Amino acid sequence: MDFRDSPEEARFRARLRRWLVENDPHLPPSSTSDEYWEKQPDWHRALYEGGFFGLTWPGEYGGHDLPSVYDVIVDEELAAAGAPPRPSLGYLVQAVLHHAGDEVKKRFLPGLISGRDRWCQGFSEPDAGSDLAALRTVAVLDGDEYTITGQKVWTSYSDLADLCFLLARTDPDAARHKGLSVFAVRMDQPGVMRRPLKMINGITREFGEVFFDGARVPAENMIGGPGEGWRVAMTVLGHEREPQELGNAGRYGKTVQRLVELARAKGALDDEQRRDLAWAVVESDMLRHLVSRRLSDRLDGLRHGPEGSIDKLLMTWVEQAVGHAAIAVAGAAHDGGDATMLNTYLYSRAQSVMGGTAQIQKNLIATRVLGLPGA
């Protein structure tokens, strides 16, 4: 297999490298700072305006109609430069592309892709986390609008969002998987209250909880048809659980490289520290190869469904292995430890819960990939 760039790809890569010299925001890692999350909208718009975001999505909605390899080039160069990865919102774009009508696509995709409109995802609830079909937020039809009542939690970017990709129950009498619908709900309206949640590593801007008390949404803002919310949600989760091309793999690799440099500066590690660092190197490299395989499948026209749960489980293992090595190596390399690496470790503990718990992923792999009987 020839991994070299074509002439067009090489020119694109060179242009991106030149652009990054002047436009890299030099933000701290995503898992360690509020500044990172506050500057994400600016970074999204800068990438888009530079011609480096939305590359594979349809041109009629603001994309560039390019092959997936161009996203890979962007991921590689951002990781090599130490710049933040591409904003992760492809799962919402894919859901709108697959399920929304033409008019809804035209209204929402250009702002979503360009970064003009910031979106959050309103799925999880206090009593319906991994058991998504048990959600209690309701949408009641009132003329040509729906009235929304309920609560969402762990809602990423909710304090910065203009719109919420909201899953709500529209038919209380239907089977719990069949009475759900998805809406694009404006966040700057009466009846919507946002409250940030402070994480264990001190971050307050990554996610929060959102309360809906009589908020209204036009019926024409429904994404998919009435009762099709479960299908839309599964499209979102299937794409959300994939490792986002090489972006996450590059992020983990960057952290591991920093740990290797810290270990060399220290001059000696004990057996446990060497073991933890070696395992982090192996795990991050394993994820890089998995993502390359997924990319190869995509370039060959193959699409994955429940296999996304395998990817999600592997990302959990990798992030927690890297986090464990971070606290082991960096904590020993500096008196009092390294705050950034400590926060990296603390953030990694959430990976086995966010996006669906590891236990749920194992159940999905067993029943939907391996074909084993359910409980």
| pLDDT, tens digit, 9 for 90 and up, residues 123-138 | 999 988 678 889 999 9
pLDDT value for 2: 58
Q: How far apart are CA 54 and CA 60, in angstroms?
A: 12
Residue ranges of the chain assigned to CATH 2.40.110.10: 117-227
- The pLDDT score that the predictor gives to residue 304 is 65
Mean pLDDT to the nearest integer, 11-20: 97
- Span 238-244, average pLDDT: 60
Q: Is 240 marked active-site?
A: yes
Spatial contact of 232 and 184, defined as CB atoms under 8 Å apart = no
Q: What is the pLDDT of residue 218?
A: 98
241-369: what fold? Butyryl-CoA Dehydrogenase, subunit A; domain 3 (1.20.140)
Q: Please, where in the chain does CATH 1.20.140.10 lie?
A: 241-369
The 10s digit of each residue's pLDDT in 61-89 is 999 999 888 988 898 898 888 888 888 88
Question: pLDDT averaged over the chain?
Answer: 88
Q: For position 45, what pLDDT does the model report?
A: 97
User: What value does the mean pLDDT take over residues 297-323?
Assistant: 81
Catalytic residue among 206, 240, 283, 307: 240
- CATH number, domain 117-227: 2.40.110.10
Q: What band does 165 get if pLDDT is binned at 50, 70 and 90?
A: very high
